[in-house]
Amino acid sequence: MLERFPRRRSPGPIARAFGRFLLNRAAIVGVCIAVPMLLLIVSYPLWWTFKPNDIDLLAMNSGPTTTHWFGTDGVGRDVFARVLEGGQISLLVAIASTALSAAIGFLFGAVSALAGRWADAVSMRFVDLVMTLPPVIFLLVLASIAGTGIWPTVLVISLLSWPLLARMIRSRLLELRERDFVMAARGMGAGVGHLLFRHGLPNSIDILVVYATLQIANAILLEAGLSFLGLGIAPPAASWGNMLNAARSTAVLEQYPWQWLFPGAALILAVLAINFIGDGLRDAFDPRAELN
- Look at phi and psi of residue 156 and say left if phi exceeds 0, alpha if psi is from -120 to 50, else beta: alpha
How large is the average pLDDT for residues 233-247? 86
Instruction: Specify the DSSP element, H or E, that contains 283.
Output: helix 258-284
Of 43-52, 58-67, 195-204, 230-239, give the lowest mean pLDDT range: 195-204
289 has pLDDT over 60: no
End-to-end CA distance of the chain: 39
Q: How confident is the model at residue 283 (pLDDT cuts 50, 70, 90)?
A: confident
Neighbours of 236 (CB within 10 A): 10
**CATH architecture type of domain 90-291:** Orthogonal Bundle (1.10)
Please check whether residue 59 is in contact with residue 41, taking contact to mean a CB–CB distance below 8 angstroms: no
Percentage of the residues of the chain whose pLDDT score is greater than 70: 91
CB of 84 within 8 A of CB of 91?
Answer: no
Residue 19 has pLDDT above 60, yes or no: yes
CA distance 191 to 176: 16
Is 230 or 80 the better-scoring residue by pLDDT?
80
In three-state secondary structure terms, 263 is: helix
Q: Cβ contacts of residue 206 below 8 Å, gap of 6+?
A: 17, 285
Give the integer Cα–Cα distance in Å for 7 and 145: 62
pLDDT band at 273 (very low <50, low <70, confident <90, very high): very high
Q: Is pLDDT at 249 greater than 90 in this prediction?
A: no
Query: Residues 174-208: pLDDT tens digits?
Result: 888 777 777 777 777 666 677 777 777 888 888 89
CA distance 219 to 135: 13
Q: Where along the chain do its domains lie?
A: 90-291
Distance CA 136, CA 59 (A): 39
Cα–Cα distances (Å) from 276 to 164, 248, 272, in that order, read 20, 29, 6
For 59-95, b where at least 16 C-beta lie within 10 A, e where not — what string? bebbeeeeebbbbbbeebbbbbbbbbbbbbbbbebbb
What integer best gives the mean pLDDT of the chain? 85
Q: How confident is the model at residue 121 (pLDDT cuts 50, 70, 90)?
A: confident
The pLDDT, as a whole number, for residue 128 is 85
> What mean pLDDT comes out for the span 51-56?
87
Q: Are the CB atoms for 194 and 241 separated by under 8 Å?
A: no
Query: What's the rounded Cα separation, in Å, for the pair 229 and 30?
Result: 29
Residue 225 CA to residue 94 CA, distance in Å, equals 13
With a cut of 60, say whether residue 5 has pLDDT above it.
no
Q: Is the pLDDT of residue 98 over 90?
A: yes
Average pLDDT over residues 253-270: 91
What 3-state DSSP class applies to 223? helix
pLDDT at 2: 47
- Asked if 153 contacts 226 with a C-beta cutoff of 8 angstroms, the reply is yes
